[in-house]
Amino acid sequence: MTPILLTTSDLLLAAGLIGICVLLSVVLSLDIHRTLAIAAVRMAAQLVLTGSVLLFVFGRSSVWLTFLVLAFMFAAASYEVGSRQQVCLAPSWHFGIGGFATIFGTVVVVLVGLLTALQPHPWYQARIAIPMTGLLLGNVMNATSLSMNTLLSAVGRERAAIEARIILGATRAEAMNGLIRQAIRTALIPTLNQMAAAGVITLPGIMTGQILAGMNPLDASKYQIVLMSLIVSGNMIGATLSAGLTAARLTDARGRLRLDRLRD
């Protein structure tokens, strides 16, 4: 069960591959060699840094250090979830709703995972808690930002249709329901694709990693099944919360559609 460790020459080989890609970009005038080189250096630096930080944190086995790392991850996710959206709410609401939905969805499924299926001792053991949280956080963040983005861009387009319902006596929940459902569905499409493709078209990341690390493939697949279920649940929670809260923010207590709260 010992994983095959990579040597310096393996890393040089990887660097060589990037070098060939850069060369190809120049030869084929793709004009991405600069971006590619910068991205490669950045990726390497980020990963080595992350590896070193995790090595340090795992060695300390301190609760506070673990929570500090998690807090940093949550803060970064709260920022990322709201960026790259064309239509926004006022910043505090935008990042507040996105961050809250992401963190809430992640925390719920991480706790379920740590307290039931995995049960490390202690349950907050950095070696398990941090990678688990990272994996789920990334997924929930994607679902949440897709959900918010779908709702925010649809609400302007569908203004007349939503208001037609409100005018005819619909409550704000009745008027926004269709859009909320559409946003949640859109947010879950990548996850559903991933689940459908799992094992047939792609070998999922966790399973691949476990197999490479020496785990029996059947055990690795069980691991993947549990994690995939956690991912889909976290995504569902994050997408539903963010769509619901965004819809609530875009209406008011008198059931009016408040697109004046949008920023371009």
Partner 1 sequence: MTSLPSMDSRGSTRVSDRTHSRPLCPAGLSLRGLRNSHAGPFDVDVPRGRCLVVTGMSGAGKSVLLRMIADLDPHQGGVALDGVACADMPAHQWRRQVLYLPAEPGWWSDIVLDHMPDAAETRGLLVQVGLREGVLRTPVHRLSTGERQRLALVRALLLQPGVLLLDEPCSALDEATTRKVEALLGDRKAKGMAIVLVSHDQAQADRMADLRRHMMSGHFTGDAA
Max CA pair span of the chain? 71
Which residue, 34 or 263, is less far from partner 1 as judged by CB? 263
Dihedral of CA 63/65/68/69: which sign?
negative
State in angstroms the smallest separation of the CB of 261 from partner 1.
11
Q: Quickly tell me which residue has 């619901």 as its tokens.
A: 244
* Smallest distance, partner 1 to C-beta of residue 155, A: 13
The tally of CA atoms less than 13 A away on the side-chain side of residue 189 is: 10
Candidates 14-22, 121-129, 135-143, 152-160; binding stretch for partner 1 (CB under 8 A):
152-160
Shortest CB 241 distance to partner 1, Å: 24
**How near is the Cβ of 204 to partner 1 at its closest, in Å?**
39
* Region near partner 1 per CB under 8 A, out of 146-154, 157-165, 192-200, 233-241: 157-165
Residue (160 or 201) nearer to partner 1, CB? 160
Q: What distance in Å separates the CA atoms of residue 152 and residue 27, rounded to the nearest whole number?
A: 42
The residue type of 61 is S
**Structure tokens, 252:** 């008011």
Pair of tokens at residue 28: 């084929």
x/- contact string, 101-140, with partner 1 (CB under 8 A)? ----------------------------------------
Structural contact between residues 249 and 180, judged by C-beta atoms closer than 8 angstroms: no
What is d(CA 241, CA 101) in angstroms, rounded to the nearest whole number?
Answer: 5
Nearer to partner 1, 207 or 243 (CB): 243
Instruction: Give the nearer residue to partner 1 in terms of CB position, either 33 or 261.
Output: 261
Helices (H), the chain: 8-27, 33-60, 63-82, 91-112, 126-157, 159-167, 172-197, 205-212, 217-249
Q: How far is CA 220 from CA 36, 101, 112, 214, in A?
A: 33, 30, 19, 9
Q: By the 8 A CB rule, do 223 and 106 touch?
A: no
Minimum gap (Å) between residue 10 Cβ and partner 1: 58
Q: Which is nearer to partner 1, 60 or 159 (CB)?
A: 159
| CB closer to partner 1, 162 vs 237 | 162
Q: How far is the CB of 169 from partner 1 (least distance, A)?
A: 3
Q: State yes or no: residue 157 binds partner 1 (CB under 8 A).
A: no
Q: Given the complex with partner 1, which of 177 and 229 has the nearer CB atom?
A: 177
Establish how many alpha carbons lie within 13 A of residue 1's alpha carbon, considering only the half-sphere containing its beta carbon: 6
Binding residues for partner 1 restricted to 195-254, rule: CB under 8 A: 252-254
Distance CA 140, CA 238 (A): 6
Which residues, numbered 163-182, are part of the site for partner 1 (CB under 8 A)? 163-171, 174, 178
Q: Which is nearer to partner 1, 23 or 164 (CB)?
A: 164
Total chain residues near partner 1 (CB under 8 A) = 22
Query: Given the rule CB under 8 A, which residues bind partner 1?
Result: 158-171, 174, 178, 252-257
